[in-house]
Chains A and B, each alone.
Chain A
Amino acid sequence: MLESIIYLSPLIVLLSSIFILMFSEHNEEEHYRCFRFSKFMMLTAFALTVIFYNKPLIEEVTLGNKYTLLFECMMYGGGLALLYLSRKWFASMGVSGYTFCGGIFVALLFGSLLIRSNNLLLSVVCCVFMMMGNYALLKGSSVKKEIKSEKIYMFAMVFCILLLGVSLFILYHYNDSFAYEQIKETLSINTGDVWLFTAVAAVLTVFMFMLGLAPVHFWFTETLGGTVLPVFAYFVMVPIGACWGGFIRFNTEAVGSFAENFYLFYKAIALISISLGALGACSVQNVRKILAYGTVYHWGIVLLVMQSFSINAVNTGVIYILVYLLAMYGICVCLFGLKIKGEYLFMLNEFEGAAYKRPYISAMMTIFIFSLLGIPPFLGFFGVFSALSYLAKHDSFYQFGYIMLMLIVLSYAYVQIIKNLYFEKSKENFDRADSGIYTAVFIIALLMIIIMLKPQYLMQDVYRMIESLFL
């Protein structure tokens, strides 16, 4: 009993943090207290997660291994970075950070459970809570009073919950159990069953909705363009690990060989995401929207690569995700470092001449953008190299060519950001960035340099962690 409680300690810490933040006095002037408390609690939960990574949080419905640890590290890393960066934003805006910190804890709590879950009911519950948490953050943080896409998100969320309910009902009807193992067995026997296909497709669609893959990407690109910077950073840093972790696990442990039925579905979704991501990024002037569309493009590549969910496919996809996340962490840090008269920047023209006023931050932002384009010697090269070599190895030449073509299209959008940073005259005075921004940029740059010099940390060690999912 005591053992189980100890193993459950990361969740207890996260849950107690949520309650403490909920019921404590929302004092706007003492925002630093909430952030200090959140950082401490998150670090504690992270440490406990690492220590008990291979112990079951909840017997029979969760299973921890190196794979889950990898995705939890992604989440906690993003969460900690986000707390570190956004404290200043709340301080300068005079806004209480209690809801925001609580939102991150909700994401971490249900994200951890989703990654470790080997039970569909638990996964569905986690997905629902994560979506609700996301909605709460979106609702409470939009710059404009009302963003139309928030409402759309709410309707889509309700629709997703209904879809999940229906798929749960169907799958339970066939299995009398929600365990992944049991579902896998049933699916392998009834390979041609339309109802089972529909149920699995519904669950996968919800995961794709949460990831922001096309054609259900609208909330991701639209709302991120209008939200405040901490929430934008939250969406590109924190829930990603949980969503991908849960999605991969569901596919490998529950869908199994039934996944063959979804090859065409995945391919179509991936190619639509790649196209819409690249073209959408070129059609907007809002930097955050450009980055959001870029994310849709990159997730398209990940899905295209991972469609078979073999160990090599998952390994390639995860390398791509890691490389992308590191670059996005960097870009978010740089966005936190660029502001004019206390206002963080949205539109391309607001970035004009930033390189003359904030040369180091602009230079790092440029490096991270080039990294997203896969240009060596930056880290993004490994992602592009892994993904494209995987496709070439499996004779997927048309997809290979299409990714390249769309990468050139996407480069237009990214080059626009660099152009505004460097090649336009500065009209405004950029605010002084605090030392924390420079420290964060330095840490990310150092991480990138280490991985570039010793890429086996990324290419080999990640494989060993992924391997544990297939044992």
Chain B
Amino acid sequence: MTDMFPLLLLLPLLGCLFVLFAKKNDNNSFHVVLFTLLSNLAIIVRLLTQIHRDNNDLQSFHFSYPWLESKGIELAMEANLFSLLVLLGIYVAFIIAVVGLLPQQRKNKSQMLLGLYFIWNITGLLCSNDMVSFYIFFAGMLIPLFLLIGLYGNIKKNSTLYLFFAFNYAGILCLLTAMLFVYKYHQGNVELQDIALIKMPVGSAMVVWTSVCMAFISRIPIWPFHYWISSINSGLRSSLVCVMTNMLPLTGLYGFLRFWQITIPKGILPFVPVVEIFGIMTMLFIALIGLSHKDFLQKLFSYNTVYYLLFLLTTIMLPEGYIINIAYSLITFLIINASLTVLDLWAENSCEENNCDYRGILAYMPRLAIIFAFFVLVAVGLPLSAMFWNNFVLISAFFRVSFTHGLLMMTAIAIISMALLYELFIMRDTSNKNPILEIEDISDKKVTFFVAVIIFLFMSFFNPLWFAF
């Protein structure tokens, strides 16, 4: 079974190669991407099944590649329960995003190629177990994302696009700084969990951990760095690119989780309260912005930010035991996120095609309305998926640590939930007397697909690993 693990990384690369030589303006590249995603999903489920069957949560799968032996660099890859669970969420989210592409978008070869390359990078990031491979995949993600946002982001200001690049590039260079300092004191590559154990002077430790923090914060829209990530989200109209940008903070969050696996390093300890305060303030601030926004995708961006910050604060403030709750929550969170993005883009597309108002659109599309409502209700935290239990555990733990912190977080979550519910109300509201009589609802195939996703989520309410047989 371990032999299947390298395939996880190999398949997306092979897929890229096939897409590269696929015909233009054809669905071939779309099929290649879908096939790659499904194959990798099957491998992930199989690996999870093995862990579940052996009843050993600490079990992991390994492989290594002797890359640069003279410099002591061997690339070590590892998949454990946490990374596999997050990968599961990511792959299901990507499948939803790819299925959600409009017919014209499916024929877009460059989008498919860059999307698959991004998937390869994010898979590698979640499987990397050493500093160098982590850096390579962390940095590699910027290229497809930058190109896709530039191509499909409808960004009018040149400066916005460049600042997005520069901000992320600076983050990459920060991680490179940390990596080179660690390399200097360890004389070779080092596994991620051992970084905190390396002995180095106080000043150097400070540089390493500050650089690590800056690198990951560059991916998480925490105040005052939130603007460059939020500004690129507004014009996106491709479900694949939307899902990709929404996963950007996940890479930062995962970085924190891996680097601070055992404990928060001493070098950065004095700054932790500052990050906590900024994190909670950003949660409230972004939730309020989400409430005031009129665009659903912007509200969804705010929702994502609030939840990513919740997970980040869990990493910083709560003991290690809660990490698995983040993983279970993340699966549902990523799926909800992708589903809502796709459904909203379908609704918007229907409005454009029929030249009608966005307000009340769901009243004319009953099938879409039911599915949309389900996902909004799951997103706001109703007991319909594993997210309910895990968020309950996390927030109650926050209340135990600090009542004020817990209360503020709860307030932020309540505000952003209200924002989503209000949007659902707007989309079903027919008071503006939209003159349209008939709008084509989503097809049977799409309904079947989303019913399967709903069943997947609903079953996770009872057992998050129900599919691992």
Contact = CB atoms under 8 A, between A and B. Distances in A.
Interface of A: 355, 359, 366, 370, 373, 375-377, 381, 384-385, 388-389, 392-393, 397, 400, 404, 407-408, 411-412, 415, 418-419, 422-423, 455-456, 459-460, 463
A418 B151 CA distance: 11
Given A381-B139, A455-B68, 7 more contacts: A376-B140, A400-B177, A408-B173, A412-B162, A415-B165, A418-B147, A455-B67
A276 B150 CA distance: 28
B166 A411 contact: yes
Given A376-B135, A423-B150, A389 B180 contact: yes
Nearest to B67: A455
A456 B136 contact: no
B143 interface: yes
A388 B176 contact: yes
5 interchain residue pairs of minimum CB distance: A376-B136, A423-B150, A392-B180, A460-B70, A404-B173
B158 interface: yes
Contacts of A385: 176, 180
Given A377-B140, A455-B67, A408 B180 contact: no
B444 interface: no
A414 to B, nearest CB: 10
B161 A384 contact: no
Contact of A456 (B70, B139, B172, B177): B70
Contacts of B294: none
Contact of A377 (B136, B161, B166): B136
B166 A423 contact: no
A463 B70 CA distance: 11
Contacts of A397: 207
Contacts of A388: 176-177, 180
Contact of A404 (B162, B165, B177): B177
B169 A389 contact: no
B165 A411 contact: yes
* Interface SS majority for chain A: helix
B38 to A, nearest CB: 25
A381 B136 contact: yes
A381 B135 CA distance: 11
Interface string B204-245: 000100000000000000000000000000000000000000
A392 B211 CA distance: 14
A375 B165 CA distance: 12
A395 to B, nearest CB: 9
A385 B189 CA distance: 13
B166 A419 contact: no
Interface string B68-112: 111100000000000000000000000000000000000000100
B170 interface: yes
A407 B68 contact: no
Given A408-B170, A422-B150, A375 B161 contact: no
Given A415-B162, A456-B69, A389 B139 contact: no
B147 A422 contact: yes
A408 B176 CA distance: 13
Interface string B418-460: 0000000000000000000000000000000000000000000
A46 B428 CA distance: 76
B161 A373 contact: no
A252 B69 CA distance: 28
B160 to A, nearest CB: 12
A388 B211 CA distance: 15
B181 interface: yes
Interface in B159-187: 161-162, 165-166, 169-170, 172-173, 176-177, 180-181, 183-184
Given A389-B180, A389-B183, A411-B169, A456 B150 contact: no
Given A392-B181, A393-B184, A456-B69, A419 B136 contact: no
A381 B110 CA distance: 24
A455 B136 CA distance: 14
Nearest to B167: A408
Contacts of A384: 176
A370 B143 contact: yes
B142 interface: yes
Contact of B139 (A375, A407, A423): A375
A376 B207 CA distance: 22
Contacts of B151: 422-423
Contacts of B177: 388, 400, 404
